[in-house]
Structure 1
Amino acid sequence: MPQLGYGVFQVPNDETEAAVSAALEAGYRSIDTASIYGNEEGVGRALAASGLARDELFVTTKLWNSDHADAVAAYDASLERLGLDHVDLYLIHWPAPANDRYLDAWAGLEKLYADDRVRAIGVSNFLPEQLRRITDLGGTVPAVNQVELHPALQQRDVIAADDAHGIVTEAWSPLAQGAVLADPAITAIAERLGRTPAQVVLRWHLQQGRVVIPKSVTPSRIAVNLDVFGFELTDGDLAAIDGLERDGRTGPHPAEFNG
């Protein structure tokens, strides 16, 4: 799985093909969508039009809360919308604990994995206690836990739980929808390095081993967000960004919907 991918949360379906095409042209090879986003068709059109071989691409989609009881059927519907015969990573989008069906959903994902219909399975927005219920089953350990994570919301307890089980932490909203990019600590690092604040924040994630899926529909920003492998943050830079959540200077964080 590429460490840096492209996410399409909140991109309208009729704009998704152009946005994903721009990302693929810029060099992204990992695309993250979800059934609830309503734009799997647009992703599929862009993938088909790209001319890229399927094994050059890494595609993620997600199971919505109302489909926990029949994950296999929901997966088939996602494949039809995407125009693919498999995805590389299939995630339970939310645990939806009020419904308490996520263990049923996990059983469905395990069946897909056992039948070689998906390359990897994982979860999204799972807290440590919810992860524990899955790992205590003694079956497949989630490959990924995708959570909201950025300098204003650093999810240290989730990262520790993921690390304890060998689960990769993936950050959605890694830039806090731009809310942290004007922070003086981040802008000072960016000015010193001749980089954008977004590049600095993405580099902060990458150097700590996280997968990130920034989103933009502007081709120039899509390209700039990918150009984060030619520089390094110092230990002092990392510590300065690590400290932003604790000193409260980053303000409130945005929240994805949880229906």
Structure 2
Amino acid sequence: MEIGNELGDYLRARRAAVAPADVGLPDDGPRRVPGLRRDEVALLAGMSTDYYIRLEQGRERHPSEQVLRAIAGALRLDDAATAHLFRLALSVVGMVAAPTAVAPELLRLMDGMRDVPAFVVGAAQDVLAANAMARELYCGFARYDNLLRMIFLDPFAREFYADWDHAARIAVGNLRASSSQFPRDERIERVVGELSVRSPAFTGLWARYEVRPRTHEDKHFRHPGVGEIRLHFEALAVTSAPGQHLSVYSAEPGSASADALILLGRLSEREATLANQTHPAEDGEFRS
């Protein structure tokens, strides 16, 4: 994770993402760097340019909540991004580590969802558990273990996601949100470290400091077995295990994607049958 002046890094990244026209300022032509200038942020936030510069450079360490809210408004930060700003500026301590064990009750609930893909994701975007439909949906990946690693390190991702750029941006923003909630989580640090070394695409997106917790969206996949499929995604927070989410996909009733989802279920049943024939369960062993 970042060290040093993390607040300054965050402010620089966020003002670079705001165009003058976005905040009602005149566009005076090409700029040396993208986004707003420091004096423009200070003007919009109602503070002196010198004070804002000292804050961004790390020479001012005690901004008030009023100042932070003014900066959040100037930079057009949403609720999640504003919460991240407050954590950085006020040294709000987040939870040390996110739990990775999935409760048996949650596993039973997930496995009972036999008609839709469902899986449990941890704070570092590790796939902690998945039902048969989810495993079949992601069957083209070499490893179904961590959504970030799959998107950035597995070549199949660019075939699977119809809009890979969007999927990558959303995934990184979601990890940023987790890192804000769990700023000292070692697993998140390892994922960020590995991807920063191995994926320039990840490094570029991570440097944008977009904090975007993902709760729902429509997704467009290209599955090797069922073809084009459009699914709605919902991430349900597991209140008993902070950082964990039960992710569930569904299709519009009567649509071609609903038919594809039925076919996906048949493929998952076939795979389960073949697996049981190859590796028969011992007496008393549970077979999903």
TM-score, normalised on structure 2? 0.27
- Give the structure with higher Rg (CA): 2
